[in-house]
Amino acid sequence: MWTARSSPHVGRIEFDGPRRQDGGFFITATVELDGVEQSVDVEMIEPYRGDMAGFFADMATHAGGWSGVMSWEAEFSVMRLDARNAGAGQVALEMMMRWPPTYDDEWYGSLEVETSSLPRVAAAMKRLLGVEDVSRFMTPNAPPAWQPLPGR
């Protein structure tokens, strides 16, 4: 995903390099903002792959906007994405990365992406992660942190 023209930062967020390694499934997440690049390997068992694909599918399905924050966090908390979409054609993404083994070093960044790119990105993430089930994790008896905007 590349930044929208309205984004306060110029850059991209990219997921690639799916591989099986040491009995696990990994992808590499790379974020470039204003010429600074950060990468982290993200390990996921299949339910977490479905949750991640579901995050991107939900953003695409509700591209018209939502209230609140739509979030995704990697299985071992090496990456988190928080998305906001007020219905103006852009999604504001806030990102956090941290690295094992200590998880002490953290990096934060933000960018905006065009909502028109979300269906393509959701389909690409489903292929990259190799999942058919794109269901999100739900917390029992807890209200969702976001709601689709009325009429969108």
Provide the β-strand partners of residue 38: 31
Residue 52, both tokens: 């991640």
Give this prediction's pTM. 0.92
Position 4 in a domain: no
Phi and psi at residue 10, to the nearest 5° = -105, 135
104-127 per-position pLDDT tens digit: 999 999 999 999 999 999 999 999
CATH, residue 83: 3.30.2450
Position 75 in a domain: yes
Position 55 in a domain: yes
Q: Is 90 exposed, middle or buried (0-12, 13-18, 19+ CB in 10 A)?
A: buried
Where in the sequence is the domain holding 36, given as residue range(s)? Answer: 11-130
CA angle 27, 22, 32 (to 5 degrees): 20
Position 66 in a domain: yes
Position 97 in a domain: yes
68-104 per-position pLDDT tens digit: 999 999 999 999 999 999 999 999 999 999 999 999 9
Position 2 in a domain: no
Q: What band does 151 get if pLDDT is binned at 50, 70 and 90?
A: confident
Q: What is the pLDDT of residue 152?
A: 61
Please tell me the total count of domains within the chain: 1
Position 146 in a domain: no
